Chain A
Amino acid sequence: MTLPPEEPRDAHEPRPAEPAGSGGPVPPAPQEPAPPREDSGNRFIDTSSGRDDGLNKCPRCGSTEIEYALGAKALVCSHCRHTWNEQNAEKLFGLDSSIAELQGHTLASGTADVREDLTMVTLKCQGCGAEVVINAEQSVQARCHWCRQTLSLNTQIPNGAVPDALLPFQLTREDAIARIEEFAGRRRTFAQRRFKEEFVPENVMGVYIPYLVVDGNMHAVLTGDGEVTTREYTVTVGSGDNKRQETRYDADVYSVQRAFDLLVDDLTVESAERFDARDNSAATNNILNAVQPYDVENAVVYNSHYLKNFTSERRDLNVRDVDHLVEEKFLSIARAKVQPTVRRYDRGVRWTGEGVAVRGTRWVSVYVPVWLYSYAESASGDSLVHYIAVNARTGTTMGSIPVSHPRIFAAACAGGTIAGIVGLVVGLLGFFA
């Protein structure tokens, strides 16, 4: 599955980066949600929902003092106490349409290629007209220095800072701390002494991590060989003292081929290189991968106020960077799904060829919520960072605890010695019997 070489373009024109304090272009006028359009074989979905950059107001009173309240599990206006949640992104943008009808590549606005050089974005405050610069690397919101309105990046910009949708936090911080304490508590005996002394689960942070969510419509083909046992019998081999019985098997060999249509719904793939599960050299990223799956079908339309009081990781992998990985995942899914059809081959199947013809894909950029406790194994700069992660939707918890190798060695030696003595006694008794 290789995307066409053309750059997937956002429905919005990229706005140029501007240095702080130099002013900048006026953001584009509010737009109606644009209908999907086609370009170079790719189909684009505008997920900005017509919302302008800048003021992201309370729908009741117009205030921009809005926060996500975990108790209410909703956005709450600090001014009028109005609570609400954004609409379901799948339904609003038609992302729940039939996967079987997907043809070509469909890309939501938030999956546009990231641009490393575009980090400073200038917004014109619609309250007073002042121009405010936002560093999109670190934040998606800033206060207008004149009228104190909160200005937000709402529209997808090509630096990957704004996703199409997000899953709000469901699990409270207290729940997450309790789960992390329980997880680490069960692993205290052989943990590093320094870790036990410095373990402070209250340091857990709420982090939004970017994922690309892919739907796929494809045809898969697998070819190989399979064997069915036809006879099982024992034979006598050796001679003299070495004479013994061994089992032998006869089998029929078959050429096996399977071809089928495959519809994959909401396959997730990491889109921040720092948290890519394939790279565990600097941090235990497999931990973040292991707390999946997320109920991405419940993701809501992006609203920057959901991110307030949480940190968020910027997407830095493009669709083209991960499409090869996604195709491999499609192949793995095909191999897993075909397994029930080869049960008759009791000696197994050796697949020798596999392939998928991808008829259509649909890509959406989504933020998912994680409560994350991190701990650097040593004080040196290149030490491994251990994560304990809690899926803030389901509560699934997984982690990595730095171990004390001398203590494990001692325990293994003790167990091995006892087992060795038992084995020695049994063995000698058998030897002289």
Chain B
Amino acid sequence: MPLTKEDAVLPLLAELSAAPGTPILLADGSSSDGIFLPFLLGPLTFAGIYIGIYRFYRNTDKRHRYERETKVAVGNLQQDDRRTGRKTGQRSRSMDGRNDTDHLTRVRRLRVQ
């Protein structure tokens, strides 16, 4: 069955929203009232189609999501949350260095008894 237009467009939209450079480009555009934004449509579409088709064929990003699909039991949860300060006038909706959804990147190892 040949690749349909829908097959190509859906990955494209996903890629456009996921591409790391997209928000920066869009932000740059918005800083000048977004006047240059339409002119970026061509290059962005090109990159989106190329990456989208490549991933659809090669599936280089696919893996076993073991951190979610492995059977796990959790118990004896202890929580310690203490307010330590306050930030004002932050430009971003998310905090710097947020990694609560990035389970595969390791951070400083603690020695646990």
Contacts and interface: CB of A to CB of B under 8 A. Distances in A.
**Which of B56, B73, B82, B94 has the most C-beta atoms of chain A within 10 angstroms of its own C-beta?**
B73
Contacts of A277: 63-64
A337 B43 CA distance: 39
Interface residues of A, number: 101
Contact of A188 (B3, B60, B88): B3
A253 B87 contact: yes
A28 interface: no
B24 interface: no
Given A250-B86, A250-B87, A253-B87, A293 B69 contact: yes
B86 A186 contact: no
A188 B33 CA distance: 43
Contacts of A235: 89
Given A249-B92, A416-B43, A290 B59 contact: yes
B84 A255 contact: yes
Q: How large is the interface on B (under 10, 10 to 19, 20 to 34, 35 or more residues)?
A: 35 or more
B2 A189 contact: yes
Contact of A352 (B42, B46, B85, B107): B107
A347 B94 CA distance: 4
B51 to A, nearest CB: 9
B86 A253 contact: yes
Interface stretch (A76-84, A129-137, A307-315, A406-414): A406-414
Contacts of B8: 411, 415
Interface string B74-106: 111111111111111111111111111101101
Contact of B57 (A290, A403, A412, A422): A403
Contacts of B53: 190, 403, 408, 411-412
B73 A263 contact: yes
B7 A422 contact: no
Interface stretch (A31-39, A155-163, A201-209, A354-362): A354-362
A233 to B, nearest CB: 9
Contacts of B7: 186
A260 interface: yes
A139 interface: no
Given A259-B78, A400-B59, A268 B91 contact: no
Contact of B74 (A261, A266, A430): A261
Interface string A210-251: 000000000111011111011000010000000010111111
Given A357-B112, A419-B41, A401 B58 contact: yes
Contacts of A170: none
B54 to A, nearest CB: 6
A148 interface: no
Nearest to B3: A189
Contacts of A431: 35
A254 to B, nearest CB: 5
A209 to B, nearest CB: 13
Nearest to A220: B112
A146 B40 CA distance: 78
A336 B112 contact: no
A427 B38 contact: yes
Contact of A349 (B2, B31, B93, B98): B98
A227 B50 contact: no
Given A249-B92, A349-B99, A403 B58 contact: yes
A292 interface: yes
B45 A416 contact: yes
Nearest to B8: A411
Given A287-B59, A349-B98, A248 B66 contact: no
B67 A329 contact: yes
B91 to A, nearest CB: 7
Contacts of B43: 416, 420
Contacts of A126: none
A332 interface: yes
Contacts of B109: 353-355
A267 B72 CA distance: 9
A328 to B, nearest CB: 6
Contact of A420 (B33, B41, B104): B41
Contacts of A220: 112
Given A354-B107, A416-B49, 4 more contacts: A290-B63, A419-B44, A424-B39, A426-B38
6 contacts: A189-B2, A221-B110, A253-B87, A255-B80, A352-B108, A354-B109
Interface of B: 1-3, 7-8, 12, 31, 33, 35-47, 49-50, 53-54, 56-60, 62-64, 66-101, 103-104, 106-113
User: Lowest 3 CB-CB distances: which A-B pairs, in order?
Assistant: A420-B42, A416-B46, A423-B41
